[in-house]
Amino acid sequence: MRIQRTIFDWLTASAPLLAALAVLFFAFGSETEVTDYFATYRRTAPVLTPVFQAITDYGNAVFYFIYAAILFRAWRTRDAKLARFVGVYLLMQLIIALAAVRFLKITIGRPRPGVEGLYQPMSHSGSMHSLPSGHTTEITGAALPFALRRRRTFFSLLIGLAIGIVAFSRIYLGWHHPTDVFFGWLLGSVTGFAINTFAPKD
């Protein structure tokens, strides 16, 4: 029963992003068309660009403050479980959102949207580091554990909206293809499940 609830909360927290990706998949014939559409939209209706830029710049940072507050509370109350939760979060993010994502970006060498040319494996150029989306990996790994620990459907959906809007901002701003975001979500989900496994609430 507990495993079923965990999977349900994971899917609920993933639903907004997966729904957005599904719309893009069915509405456009290719990822190049997605890139061209949003590039045109940014030129013709630039009002949303600063909003999504702020989201992409500060969305993950919000969770830095949340985890810092939790760590401070753990120190004040001498709560070893809370301290372990933050410690596992930091460790998993370092392993997956930083090291693994960096390794994959360099190894795969996928061009970012709008960059001409083929894949360039082992490239150290930022323009060839599209896959996977690091922002998506990080936000999913940081936010998902709260949904898995709280086990409330509406709360999981709110977490999903936070994940979805940060991930979508990467597509809107032309930094990532939809599939980059999808694989970033998968990696972030691994982070979230690892945190929930090694730092359980109970």
The full set of domain ranges for the chain reads 2-198
The pLDDT assigned to 3 comes to: 86
pTM, two decimals, is: 0.95
**Average of per-residue pLDDT across 167-194:** 98
- pLDDT value at 123 more than 70: yes
The pLDDT assigned to 2 comes to: 81
**Average of per-residue pLDDT across 36-61:** 97
Q: Binning pLDDT at 50, 70 and 90, where does residue 72 land? A: very high
- Taken in order 83, 12, 156, 135, is the CA torsion positive or negative? positive
* pLDDT, tens digit (0-9, with 9 covering 90-100), for 157-180: 999 999 999 999 999 999 999 999
Task: Identify the CATH number of the domain defined by range 2-198.
Answer: 1.20.144
* pLDDT, tens digit (0-9, with 9 covering 90-100), for 98-116: 999 999 999 999 999 999 8
The pLDDT assigned to 202 comes to: 61
- CB neighbours of 60 closer than 8 A, spacing ≥ 6? 135, 138, 139, 142, 166
- pLDDT value at 23 more than 70: yes
